[in-house]
Amino acid sequence: MAVPEGIKNQFIEFIKLQAFDDQYISRQEEKRILEVGVKNGIDVEESLALIRQVAADKGLVVERDAEEKAHAFLKSASNDGKVDKKEFEDAVNLFKTATKGKLTDQEIKQRLKKMMEDNAWKAKEGGLFGTKWYSAI
């Protein structure tokens, strides 16, 4: 069933409103937007497409997209089964750039560490002169 254009336009304005103050759509805001979309007869896939369309048009940051970029980077970095400190720091910088600095370095590091644990990626740390950089997070 096609969604009337008026409802779709109202939904687009709602998306803009959610990111009005900080130009950032967090996972919580995204979920709230999706719930409103479903209540208005817009399915989840179409709602996600509209969120991304508005984000692209208005230069908004969608947290999910930033996480997906960082995930892809860490996945390729862990091709030997481990992520070293430089690769991890590069992922932190990628995430920070993708979120336009909306999250602190510590928040990003904790999220990336959880991402590594969820995907069973190991960290290269220690060694003769190495540090426990990963354990310190």
Distance (Å, whole) CA 9 – CA 44: 16
Find the Cα–Cα–Cα–Cα dihedral 58, 59, 63, 68, rounded to 10°.
120
Which residue type occupies 108? I
Render pLDDT for 62-104 as a digit per residue (tens, 0 to 9): 999 999 999 999 999 877 778 989 999 999 999 999 998 899 9
37: pLDDT confidence band, cut at 50, 70 and 90? Answer: very high
Q: Which residue has the tokens 């991890």?
A: 88
10 torsion bin: left (phi>0), alpha (psi -120 to 50), beta (else) = alpha
How does DSSP assign 94-120, residue by residue?
Answer: HHHHHTTT-S-HHHHHHHHHHHHHHTT
Q: Where are the domains of the chain?
A: 5-59, 63-123
* Beta-bridge partners for 128: none
Write down the pLDDT at residue 10.
Answer: 95
pLDDT at 127 over 70: no
